[in-house]
Amino acid sequence: MIIARSPLRITLGGGGTDLPSYYRDNEGFLVSAAIDKYVYVTVMRPFTEGIYLKYSQLEHVEDISDVKHPIIREALQMLGFKTPQVEITTLADIPAGTGLGSSGSFTTALLKALYTHRKRHLHQEELAELACHIEIDRLGEPIGKQDQYIAAVGGVTCFTFHKDDKVTAVPLGISMDTMFDMEDNLLLFFTGFSRSASGILKDQQVKSQNNDSEMLKNLHYVKDLGYRSKDALEAGNTELFGELMHEHWEHKKRRSGGMSNPKIDEWYELGMKNGAVGGKLVGAGGGGFLMFMAHDKNKLRQVMATAGLEEVRFRFDFEGTKVVMSS
């Protein structure tokens, strides 16, 4: 049995500039952080022939083409399984559709487990690129490359998405004191809303491809916020970083009508009046987690709990996608 795990992530600045529809013309940049909440994938060889899948559904099929789960189907085809005799199970600390990049985390964990099962080694960047190939090229999802790369690499990392599709990953140069400050004062609260990122990102993709001036202007500004967030954190100025998060959220909401809703806006205002310096929805928008940078975390926690929002506490993950058991 092989058990692989991939971390989920939070975006710290520049989110949305990792989509091919943007970076192939303009180059993208963002800062992302892997957190210690994981997607797990187990791969083993059962006693009987066939493909056995256990995720939110159960599947038992004889042929790869009959697999309903698109990512698993494409991964098995890509690895060239001829006479499949494999059982794949997936578990996650946090449900999908909550803005923490679970799809990219699942794909990287799946590939890591399948390649290990086949006694083949993958480097981090190779793993990330294969995951992007499955989701973006083979399945045509209107998503970016952030989730696959941060899941594979881990850490608190700056990514540059080049026009030729290459990606450069460089660790954010912050002090340990700043790192601990972020872990203590970056707070995540679940809104209770889950959604698919594809619908929201499709709108951004179409507008970017059509050179919609407002969309491109917005993304240029958000990319600049990514660089400013990097500079603020590397200077140890977490207060400024929080203010930039608020600025980012204001611009992010203008990108699509589905980014927020009245309830999320109400909770955000509540947080801003009760201990938060700034915040935003993590991920494509529309639901998932509200993330705040706090100057009074106890007051913020209390008011969010009273409003009925559950906090998920986290630390950063510096290992990326890895095999945790092989037997």
- Domain containing residue 251: CATH number: 3.30.70.890
Q: What is the pLDDT of residue 92?
A: 96
Q: How far is it, in rounded angstroms, from Cα 85 to Cα 37?
A: 30
Q: What is the pLDDT of residue 227?
A: 98
Q: How far is it, in rounded angstroms, from Cα 27 to Cα 167?
A: 10
Q: How far is it, in rounded angstroms, from Cα 152 to Cα 125?
A: 7
Q: What is the pLDDT of residue 29?
A: 98
Are 166 and 229 in the same domain? no
Let me know the angle formed at the C-alpha of 281 by 280 and 285, rounded to the nearest 5 degrees: 135
Are 107 and 153 in the same domain? yes
pLDDT tens digits, 108-139: 999 999 999 999 999 999 999 999 999 999 99
Q: By percentage, how much of the chain surpasses pLDDT 70?
A: 92
Give residue 113's Cα distance to chain centre.
19
- Domain containing residue 122: CATH number: 3.30.230.10
216: amino acid identity, one letter: L
Are 256 and 213 in the same domain? yes
**How sure is the predictor about 6, in pLDDT bands with cuts at 50, 70 and 90?**
very high
Q: What is the pLDDT of residue 253?
A: 78
Record the tokens describing residue 6, joined without a space: 């991939």
Q: What is the pLDDT of residue 199?
A: 55
**How sure is the predictor about 235, in pLDDT bands with cuts at 50, 70 and 90?**
very high
Are 40 and 13 in the same domain? yes
* Domain hosting residue 166, numbered range: 2-172+317-326
Are 229 and 110 in the same domain? no
| Average pLDDT estimate for 154-165 | 98
**How sure is the predictor about 164, in pLDDT bands with cuts at 50, 70 and 90?**
very high
**How sure is the predictor about 287, in pLDDT bands with cuts at 50, 70 and 90?**
confident
Are 129 and 149 in the same domain? yes
- 202 has pLDDT over 90: no
Q: What is the pLDDT of residue 261?
A: 85
| Average pLDDT estimate for 186-193 | 91
Are 72 and 191 in the same domain? no
The total of structural domains in the chain comes to 2
Q: What is the pLDDT of residue 214?
A: 83
- 152 has pLDDT over 70: yes
Are 18 and 165 in the same domain? yes
pLDDT tens digits, 64-100: 999 999 999 999 999 988 778 999 999 999 988 888 9
